[in-house]
Amino acid sequence: MTLSKKLTALPLIAAFTLLTACGDNSAGGNVTAANSPAETSGSAVAADSTATPKDPVTIEFWYGLGGKLGENMDVLIQKFNASQQEVIVKGIVQADYTETEQKLQAAIATGKVPAAVLSSNVDWAKKGYFAPVDTLIEQQADFNRDDFVQTFLSQGQVDGKQYFLPMYGTTQVMYYRKDAMEKNGIDPASLKTWEDLAAAAAQMTVKEGGKTTVYGWEPMWGSGNMIDATLSKGGSILSEDGSQVLIDSPEWIETWESFRKWIHEDQIMRIHSGGQGWEYWYKTIDDVMKGQAAGYTGSSGDQGDLDFSIVSAMEQPGWAGVGEGKPVAQAIMAGIPAKASEAEQQAAMKWLSYFTNTENTAFWSMNTGYIAVRQSALEDPAFVTFSESNPQSMIPLKQAAHGSEPFQDPTGGKINDALTIAADKVQIENIPAAEALKEAQETAQAALDKIKK
């Protein structure tokens, strides 16, 4: 690495140090975008080199990634298969994270499970449906736990054991058309608050005959974007002692009502909803790329699908008088089903370790926009060179350094489900936020009280 590249890497390492410091090493594991529960099996038996079969072990790896994300996953699978002769990974593509979990649930019931799956579920880990991987990790000579971003690694821990490995990190960032900002004389760096963004969205919105033809901004469908904005306003899902659901507090109502107003009354924002798999997501991206919207809030992983000669990226804003944004920074994790055979589990860990090594996590970050899970990736020569010419690649990392941890739903998903229903009422049905959130709070509190008894 040249001296100039070493100097460039230093602030990146510092940013990663901040991100690592914000982690919580308490047991509890993270829930992936599928938001589900998991279980425990006995420790895997240590591998004996004399027991290694002569023929390679063929395993299935299930993942719900489409578009360029799916293409990049296939690249790494093929690269892994060509790199050694002990394991053959067969990638099985699902429509999205949710379908992956649904099909895994059916597979667990029949006993015919994949050896590895891009999904994590704390409740299922506690019930024994996923295998703890600590012993399997110990069998990997070059694994180096300390090199992982600890705030991501800790999200895969349940009751003091490692059940899931972080494959990549994600956070929702803002993508905007550079020409729309320039045309309206808006400096993206000045958009520090949601109030600033709403004013800019109104300025960039185009209406003809009372109908909006170009939207100033497009939030992504679902509760995620609005939860991020609420956390940035100082809201919490649960009280500190975990006994009360707080999703009808003023911070929640004010934030969600702002989104309802922007979408339905002001018509400066809109959402795409429904469809198959990630259809709504790509429709949102298409609006921006076709000039039908000035910007949108989307995943750090969208960067592989975007043309940065047209768009650029910035961090989510905060709120006036409150401070900087605190959106969730989450690890997307993979697990090994407990019903996979010992040989399949060992093969799966070999594959997951390969995917998360320094070179490959750097490759994944450069080609998708997701956050690398190893600190050493920031010193990877290819990554340093890439970040110099692609500054948007650093936006997710910078945002994650002051992000919020993902919510661990103690009810097995019922609080998250209540929020999802409330979000649809606000975003799609134009129901006042106070009404939607009050009903959600009552449903969620009842579910929480039930498990506390």
Same domain, yes or no: 81 and 69: yes
Whether residues 370 and 299 share a domain: the answer is: no
Whole-angstrom distance, CA of residue 131 vs CA of residue 347:
13
How many CA atoms within 13 Å lie on the side-chain side of 132?
Answer: 19
Which residues does residue 60 pair with via DSSP β-bridges, in sequence order?
90
pLDDT at 129: 98
> Which residues, other chains included, contact 153 with Cβ-Cβ below 8 Å and sequence gap of 6+?
23, 145, 162, 165, 166, 331, 373
Which comes out higher in pLDDT, residue 81 or 67? 81
Q: Which of 381, 400, 419 is the last residue in one of the domains?
A: 400
Per-residue model confidence (pLDDT) at position 93 = 97
- 285 and 432 share a domain? yes
Q: Are residues 239 and 386 in the same domain?
A: no
**Domain check: are 311 and 339 in the same one?**
no
Nearest in space to 73 (alpha carbons), one of 345, 380, 360:
360
Task: Give the pLDDT score at 24.
Answer: 38
pLDDT tens-digit map of 428-445: 999 999 999 999 999 999
Domain count, the chain: 2
Provide the percentage of residues in the chain whose pLDDT is more than 70. Answer: 88
- Final residue of a domain: which of 382, 400, 418? 400
- 164-177/329-335 β-pairing: antiparallel
Mean pLDDT, the chain, as a whole number? 89
For 167-180, the pLDDT digits (tens) are 999 999 999 999 99
* Residues 323, 236 share a domain: yes
Task: With residue 162 as reference, give the H or E element that holds it.
Answer: strand 161-162
pLDDT band at 372 (very low <50, low <70, confident <90, very high): very high
Instruction: Give the number of other CB atoms < 10 A from CB of residue 84.
Output: 12
pLDDT range class, residue 452, cuts 50, 70, 90: confident
Residue keyed to tokens 């010992």: 342
For residues 1 and 363, the model is more confident at 363
Out of 16-20, 268-272, 347-351, 364-368, least confident range: 16-20
**380-398: pLDDT as tens digits:** 999 999 999 999 999 998 9
272 lies in the same domain as 285: yes
Q: Does residue 297 contact residue 220 with C-beta atoms inside 8 Å?
A: yes
Percentage of the chain lying above the pLDDT 90 cut? 83
Burial of 273 (0-12, 13-18, 19+ CB in 10 A): middle
Q: Which DSSP string do the residues of 55-115 spell out, in sequence order?
A: SPEEEEEEE---HHHHHHHHHHHHHHHHH-SSEEEEEEE-SSHHHHHHHHHHHHHHT---S
Q: Which comes out higher in pLDDT, residue 228 or 12? A: 228
Shared domain for 125 and 64, answered yes or no, is yes
Please, what sign has the CA dihedral across residues 191, 194, 199, 200?
A: positive
pLDDT of 359 over the 70 cut:
yes
Both 66 and 178 in a single domain?
no
State the average pLDDT over residues 223-231: 98
What mean pLDDT is predicted for residues 80-97?
97
Same domain, 270 and 356: no
pLDDT, mean of residues 180-185: 98
The pLDDT of residue 425 is above 80:
yes
Both 179 and 166 in a single domain? no
pLDDT at 49: 44
How large is the average pLDDT for residues 205-217? 95
**Residue 251 belongs to domain spanning:** 173-327+409-452
If you search the block for the tokens 């990736």, which residue do you land on?
377
Whether 3 has a pLDDT exceeding 70, the answer reads: no
Confidence bin at 131 (pLDDT 50/70/90): very high
pLDDT at 412: 87
What number of residues does the chain have? 453
Question: Can you tell me the distance from the alpha carbon of 41 to that of 264, in angstroms, rounded to the nearest whole number?
Answer: 49
- Distance, in Å, from the CA atom of 417 to the CA atom of 424, rounded to the nearest integer, reads 11
- Confidence check: pLDDT of 54 > 90: no
Q: Which band of pLDDT confidence, cut at 50, 70 and 90, is reported for residue 39?
A: very low
**CATH code for the domain of 137:** 3.40.190.10
Both 203 and 214 in one domain: the answer is yes
Is pLDDT above 60 for 322?
Answer: yes
Chain centroid to Cα 302, Å, comes to: 11
Q: Which residue has the tokens 């490759």?
A: 363
